[in-house]
Amino acid sequence: MFITPSPPTFRSRSTRTPAVRLQCSVRWMPAWSAATLIFLSTQLPGPALAETASDFKVPGGGASTLSTGTSKIITRGVNLEGANFAGKDLHGVSFQQSIVREGDFSDANLQDASFFDADCAGTNFRGADLSRVNLELANLRNADLTDAVLVNAYVVGATKLEGVHIDNSDWTDVLLRPDQRRYLCKRAHGVNTRTGVDTRESLACPPQE
């Protein structure tokens, strides 16, 4: 069960990173990940969140990020359904096992981000840069990847792609199962406006008859 955290109470305390407690005994979660900050900033009035997201990076290696030895922002198991991240710089942010259904990531920078085992059904990724993103076990049913860049994205057989919109997207160097490739090729049209790559060519689709 996923529960959206209530807005935290801000107090003057030590410089240690605070924690937000959910209004039940389900779990504690670390406060101030970049995605949580952005989400909360849309819910709270005024300059309550004066700190910047870059102040809350944590050591890498968690949440199925694809690179190691770097700083990564980790957001695990959070309910962000319908949240608006359009145009945000979310480079390296992990949404592992989070709910981002019907969210808006259009034109966002999601390079090296992770949606490992995340629910992205119906999510808007139009024009987003998803280079090297981790989509292992992700649910992308009916997601909109129109004009998105997915160069070197990590997709596995269990990644759910039914109903995904991929016009003008770039899938260069994405390893796909043969049945996944055939399915996407049936839906592939256009040329990516950022890379200039033909969608069908990026998927290594056979010539159309």
**pTM greater than the 0.85 cutoff:** no
pLDDT digits (tens, 9 = 90+) for 121-149: 999 999 999 999 999 999 999 999 999 99
Contact yes or no for 8/18 (Cβ under 8 A): yes
pLDDT digits (tens, 9 = 90+) for 52-62: 333 323 223 33
Which domain, by its residues, includes 81? 58-209
184 within some domain: yes
Instruction: Name the domain count of the chain.
Output: 1
15 within some domain: no
- pLDDT at position 165 over 70: yes
12 within some domain: no
74 within some domain: yes
> How does residue 76 score in pLDDT terms, banded at 50, 70 and 90?
confident
**What number is the average pLDDT over the span 94-122?**
97
117 within some domain: yes
144 within some domain: yes
70 within some domain: yes
**When comparing pLDDT for 59 and 152, which is higher?**
152
Residues in the chain: 209
31 within some domain: no
- pLDDT at position 100 over 50: yes
Q: What is the pLDDT of residue 128?
A: 98
Q: What is the pLDDT of residue 12?
A: 40
CATH code for the domain in which residue 73 is found:
2.160.20.80
